[in-house]
A and B are shown apart, each in its own frame.
Chain A
Amino acid sequence: AQSVSQHNHHVILSEAASLELGCNYSYGGTVNLFWYVQYPGQHLQLLLKYFSGDPLVKGIKGFEAEFIKSKFSFNLRKPSVQWSDTAEYFCAVNRKTGANNLFFGTGTRLTVIP
């Protein structure tokens, strides 16, 4: 069965600090990978996605993620966080073939202190 693990439940950073949120997945086949963000009181928004090609993908708002196939990981990074990055971040995967329903990790709450 597919599973997605996000090891950090709550991360607290000061503005300008660097961010790295871990995501590991478990699945025997090939997958597509996503990071979603949920700002307080708002709906889920796509930050970035990886389907194929360059394993380092860049998303909106200065975020990037690197797919490391050997480690089954897709960690999210940002060199310098801002107070407005305070939100809940979800890693998700789906299969490349067949049904495209998403499997989500448990989420990481990021709090950025001004």
Chain B
Amino acid sequence: GAVVSQHPSRVICKSGTSVKIECRSLDFQATTMFWYRQFPKQSLMLMATSNEGSKATYEQGVEKDKFLINHASLTLSTLTVTSAHPEDSSFYICSATGSGGAGYEQYFGPGTRLTVT
């Protein structure tokens, strides 16, 4: 089946620094990738949707200048948390879909736990 990887799985950074999280589709071409944030004991909240080669579409309330998303190739999307603060500590999950249009299955990465000290 389709596999999505994320790197790193865990990262600890100091307040004010930037952190980059990678999301890769290992055995398929991901035309669309999604970035979610999951708070403890809560559901996944969609942050943004990115299509290869175009700018990401951010959900309401998500700061695009703080959460930079790049989808430069059909197998890689990156999320950079800029000037991280402790409140950015969370579990970040990406997913990818290989076809356009609604309803196609999303394949999820294992997530990245970010801790900002």
- Does B44 make an interface contact (CB < 8 A)? yes
Say yes or no: B34 contacts A102, CB within 8 Å: yes
Given the interface pairs A103-B46, A106-B43, the reply to whether A44 lies near B102 with Cβ below 8 Å is: no
Say yes or no: B110 contacts A42, CB within 8 Å: yes
The interface size of chain B toward A, counting residues with CB under 8 Å, comes to 24
Say yes or no: B93 contacts A99, CB within 8 Å: no
- Contacting residues, chain B, for A90 (C-beta < 8 A): 43-44
Given the interface pairs A42-B110, A43-B93, A44-B93, the reply to whether A97 lies near B102 with Cβ below 8 Å is: yes
Across the interface, B103 reaches (CB within 8 A) one of A36, A43, A51, A106, namely A51
Across the interface, B104 reaches (CB within 8 A) one of A98, A100, A105, namely A100
Instruction: List the interface of chain A (C-beta within 8 A of B).
Output: 32, 36, 42-46, 49, 51, 90, 94-107
Instruction: List the interface of chain B (C-beta within 8 A of A).
Output: 4, 32, 34, 41-46, 49, 57, 93, 95, 97, 101-106, 108-111
What are 29 inter-chain pairs, A to B, with CB distance below 8 A? A42-B110, A43-B93, A43-B108, A43-B110, A44-B95, A44-B108, A45-B108, A46-B105, A49-B105, A51-B103, A90-B43, A96-B102, A97-B102, A99-B49, A99-B57, A100-B97, A100-B101, A100-B102, A100-B106, A101-B46, A101-B49, A102-B34, A102-B44, A102-B106, A103-B46, A104-B43, A104-B45, A105-B43, A107-B42
